[in-house]
Amino acid sequence: MSSTSTLTGRGGSFSADGTAIARITQWSANPTLATSNEWGDSDSGGFTNRSAGRKDCTFNSEGKYDSGGSSYTLFEPEDVVLAILGTTGTPGFNFPRALCNDFNISVNVDSEEVIGWTTSFGADGAYTRT
C-alpha cells in the first residue's frame, strides 16, 4: 500500500471527445513557453531581462491494443479533439482543443500481434491544469 502523498500513475486516464481511451499505459505532458521576450536596457546593468511570452503545451500518450478500437477511430492526424489527461492524486490537464499531430501503431508481423500505439498532440489555444 502506498502513502497518500506518493505520486503514482494509479487511476491514470485519457479521454478524447468524451470517450475514455482504454488500455493506456502512459501519458506525458510538456507545458512550455512558445516564445519569450528578451532585452537589455539602461537599467539592466549589462544583464538580460526576460518576460514570459505565449504559453504552449504538447502531450503524448501510448497504450496497448483495445479490441473495442476506440483509439484507432479517434486519432487521425489533423483531427482536433477535447482531451483530458488525469491521474488520481496528481495534476492533470484539460485541453478544450488539442490537435493530433501523429498516430503510430506497432505490429509484430511474425506473431501477428498488435503491440500497441502512440500518439502526440498539441494544445490548440488555452489549456488548464486540473
What domain count does the chain have? Answer: 1
Whether residue 17 lies inside any domain: the answer is yes
Give which of 102, 125, 106 is closest to 115, Cα–Cα. 106
Return d(Cα 95, Cα 86) in angstroms, integer.
11
**15-61 pLDDT, tens per residue?**
999 988 888 999 999 999 988 889 999 999 999 998 988 999 999 99
Whether residue 8 lies inside any domain: the answer is no
Q: Which pTM value belongs to this model?
A: 0.80
The Cβ of residue 59 has, within 10 Å, a number of other Cβ atoms equal to 21
Whether residue 25 lies inside any domain: the answer is yes
Return the higher-pLDDT residue of 102 and 10: 102
Whether residue 47 lies inside any domain: the answer is no
Return d(Cα 26, Cα 42) in angstroms, integer.
49
User: Is residue 3 pLDDT above 70, yes or no?
Assistant: no
Instruction: Give me the pLDDT at residue 85, please.
Output: 95
Whether residue 82 lies inside any domain: the answer is yes
Grid cell 544583464 — which residue?
A: 47
Under the banding of pLDDT at 50, 70 and 90, the label for residue 5 is low
| pLDDT, average across residues 112-127 | 92
Whether residue 3 lies inside any domain: the answer is no
Whether residue 45 lies inside any domain: the answer is no
Instruction: Give me the pLDDT at residue 96, please.
Output: 97
Query: DSSP letter string over 18-48?
Result: TEEPTTEEEEEEEEEES-EEEE--TTSTTS-
Return the higher-pLDDT residue of 119 and 91: 119
Residue 62 in grid coordinates:
501510448
Cβ atoms of 22 and 35 within 8 Å: the answer is no
Whether residue 46 lies inside any domain: the answer is no
Domain span at 69: 13-34+52-129
Greatest alpha-carbon pair distance for the chain in Å reads 68
